[in-house]
Amino acid sequence: MANQEDIFKKVISHAKEYGFIFQSSEIYDGLSAVYDYGQNGAELKKNIREYWWQAMVQLNDNIVGIDAAIFMHPTTWKASGHVDAFNDPLIDNKDSKKRYRADVLVEDHVAKIEGKIDKEVAKASKRFGDTFDKEQFLKTNPRVLDYRTKANSILKRLGKSLENEDLADVKALIEELGIACPISGSKNWTDVKQFNLMFGTKLGATADSAMDLYLRPETAQGIFVNFLNVQKTGRMKIPFGIAQTGKAFRNEIVARQFIFRMREFEQMEMQYFIKPGTQKEWYDTWKEKRLGWHLSLGLGEEKYRFHNHEKLAHYADAAADIEFKFPFGFKELEGIHSRTDFDLGSHEKFSGKKLQYFDPEENKSYVPYVLETSIGLDRMFLAVFSSALQEEELDNNTTRTVLKIPAVLAPTKAAVLPLLKRDGLPEIAHNIVDELKWDYNVAYDEKDAVGRRYRRQDAVGTPFCITVDHQTLEDGTVTIRHRDTMEQQRVAQKALKDIISKEVDVRQWLQRI
Ligand code: GAP
């Protein structure tokens, strides 16, 4: 079986080869941690965004969506705490001159320990076969328990040192764990320092009138500053939510792992405004709702887990990540944060404007508390794409590469393939495309043998291939091939719309939440 690194390399090369993701400005040798989405990637990304928007905005009558500007008044970032506290602890290796995030070095070390637990499980599962009880094994095996204790105590210490801003202890931890630079192999480290992640820019034409701005590092603040505008114009009653998708920018120190950590990326965030004191209840509710959204896509329940934060951001009284099993291990995919009244309270102070809600039931005004759900669209793309990419051994000793993207998210829903380029078959195929294209993207492909065309569609995740052949001329039927099972059915042309809709219709998917 291919190792994780090979699988990840395959994901990256497949994304490029099939028009999903290209490195930004590649002809100039690219820009580190910035990527462009190609013709298939843009469609998949759009479909993920829509799936989120429909679940959050369309299906909740108390959540509305906005689209705030990327540029914001610079005081926004003073009020939000980003100017003072949006830092990453960084450390340099003196030999390779490479810069790392100190917390990521430690977390990678812990991931290796967790990898050892997975290996123990795999070994035991092989040894005990059908009688293997994984839960029991994880609870009782001394080696596993030892690894677990070690991993937990490292993370606890890291969390505590970061919370106390004890950067000397973070360095001490790196040294005690014997962490070496992945490039030079040396353990010759500098001290750990804080580094602000916001990109600065200027607004205005002349040097003396220009204003220093930041590119927004999160979309959330565009929602906070519009809280009253939306509440008043939409006559919203608490609890209510404001959702938004859009670009965010962070000058990440460790920009690696493809689109997992980018310098320009897209977020899908929702702030839920609630009565103070109800935050625990809404925190639990939104953790469950968001996990339900993920599970509805059918990527596999075992791919997700919650990670409750030990170290809380400056604005939160509780926070958890939904982690996903990426090819490089479990990592954060989405955050659910109980943000208290920190943001609205702080914007009140800095702007001098009241940001309060008059609660008719309580007959008083207050600054609402906020429960936030925040997911990276690019990270979600990577979760879908990497788990969908599969190599299958076929009966005839060949392999096929197939992207088993959930049909609702697939860039193209169907491809229409005339068996030959003559005898009127292309005309019928074009007619089918013309009929179906009103509802979703449909491709037409007449080049090469039909088997190769199937493979090409498998590789971009098209759920259905429709083949037009000579029998079509006689009785109006076509074959429809299902991507995942490769099963083929002979059906009437008229039935195509219903068969495809059944699998790609968003309602079928969202109803699973
Ligand atoms: N408003 C809260 C907030 O921004 P965050 O945990 O910093 O919280 C939320 O970010 C989500 O945004 C993360 O869970 C991740 O999916 C995504 N994200 C954050 N930084 C990213 C980066 N550099 N590249 C890609 N996605 C990123």
- Tens-digit pLDDT profile for residues 188-243: 999 999 999 999 998 887 777 788 899 999 999 999 999 999 999 999 999 999 99
The pLDDT value recorded for residue 2 is 63
Whether residue 419 has pLDDT greater than 50: yes
Q: For ligand 1, atom 20, name the residue with the nearest CA.
A: 261
pLDDT per residue over 443-469, tens digit each? Answer: 999 999 999 999 999 999 999 999 999
Using pLDDT thresholds of 50, 70 and 90, give the confidence band for residue 251.
very high
Q: What is the average pLDDT across 387-393?
A: 96
Pocket lining: 261 vs ligand 1, CB cutoff 6 Å: yes
Q: Find out whether 477 and 463 touch, Cβ atoms under 8 Å.
A: no
With 60 as the cut, is the pLDDT of residue 1 above it?
no
Percent of the chain with pLDDT over 90: 90
Q: Is the pLDDT of residue 3 over 90?
A: no
Residue 303 alpha carbon to ligand 1 centre in Å: 19
Which residues have CB under 8 Å from 275's CB, separation 6+? 238, 239, 359, 362, 366, 368, 369
* Both tokens assigned to 499: 């068969």
Question: Which residues contact residue 14 at a Cβ distance below 8 angstroms, ignoring those fewer than 6 apart?
Answer: 20, 389, 401, 403, 459
Expressed in angstroms and rounded, the spacing between residue 304 Cα and the centre of ligand 1 is 17
pLDDT tens per residue, range 16-53:
999 999 999 999 999 999 999 999 999 999 999 999 99
Q: Which residue lies with its CA nearest to atom 7 of ligand 1?
A: 218
DSSP states along 242-261: EEEEEEEE---SS--TGGGS
Residue identifier of the C-alpha nearest atom 4 of ligand 1: 218
Answer positive or negative: Cα dihedral of 310, 313, 319, 321.
Answer: negative
Instruction: Provide the pairing of β-strand 63-65 with 240-249.
Output: parallel
Residue 229 to residue 286: CA distance in whole angstroms: 24
Best residue among 374, 378, 385 to mutate for probing ligand 1, ranked by most atoms within 8 Å of CB:
374
Query: Residue 358 corresponds to which amino acid?
Result: F
Lowest mean pLDDT among 312-326, 375-389, 416-430: 312-326
Ligand 1 site, residue 221, Cβ cutoff 6 A:
no
Question: 299-343, pLDDT tens digit by residue?
Answer: 999 999 999 987 787 788 999 999 999 999 999 999 999 999 999
Q: If you write DSSP's letter for every residue of 152-215 in order, what string do you get?
A: HHHHHHHHHHHHTT-HHHHHHHHHHTT---TTT----B---EEEE-PPEEEESSSTTT-EEEEB
Distances, alpha carbon 17 to alpha carbons 12, 13, 453, in Å: 9, 6, 16
Whether ligand 1 lies within 6 angstroms of the CB of 325 is answered as: no
Residue-wise pLDDT for 284-299, tens only, equals 999 999 999 999 999 9
Instruction: State whether the beta carbon of 88 lies less than 6 angstroms from ligand 1.
Output: no
pLDDT band for position 402 (50/70/90)? very high
Closest CA to 202 of 191, 210, 192, 193: 210
Q: Per-residue DSSP letters for 10-24?
A: HHHHHHHHTTSEEET
Q: What is the pTM of this model?
A: 0.89
Q: Which residues of 341-362 are buried (b: 16+ CB within 10 A; e: fewer)?
A: bbbbbbbbeeeeeebbbeeeee
Average pLDDT, the chain: 95
- Atom of ligand 1 minimally distant from the CA of 220: 1
Cα of 176 vs centre of ligand 1, distance in Å, is 30
State the distance from the centre of ligand 1 to the C-alpha of 14, rounded, in angstroms: 25
What does the DSSP 8-state code read for residue 93? B
* Pocket flag, ligand 1, residue 218 (CB < 6 Å): yes
Q: What is the pLDDT of residue 206?
A: 74
Ligand 1 atom 2, closest CA: 374
For the cut 50, the answer to whether the pLDDT of residue 401 exceeds it is: yes
With residues binned 3-state (H G I as helix, E B as strand, rest as coil), the percentages for the chain, rounded to 5, are 45, 25, 30
Decide whether any atom of ligand 1 lies within 6 Å of the 469 Cβ: no
103 CB under 6 A from ligand 1? no
Coil, helix or strand for 140?
Answer: helix
Which residue's alpha carbon is at the smallest distance from atom 18 of ligand 1? Answer: 376
Q: What stretch of H or E contains 222?
A: helix 220-224
CB 477 within 8 A of CB 513: no
Which tokens in the block code for residue 121?
Answer: 């499980």
Check if 343 has its Cβ closer than 6 Å to any atom of ligand 1. no
Ligand 1 probe mutation, 72, 218, 264, 371, most atoms within 8 A of CB: 218
The string of DSSP letters for 66-84 reads: ----SB--THHHHHTTHHH
- Measured CA to CA, the distance from residue 159 to residue 148 in angstroms comes to 16
| Any ligand 1 atom below 6 A from CB of 266 | no
CB distance 38 to 22 below 8 Å: yes
Atom of ligand 1 nearest to the CA of 321: 14
* pLDDT for position 310: 77
CB of 483 shorter than 6 A to ligand 1: no
Average pLDDT over residues 63-81: 97
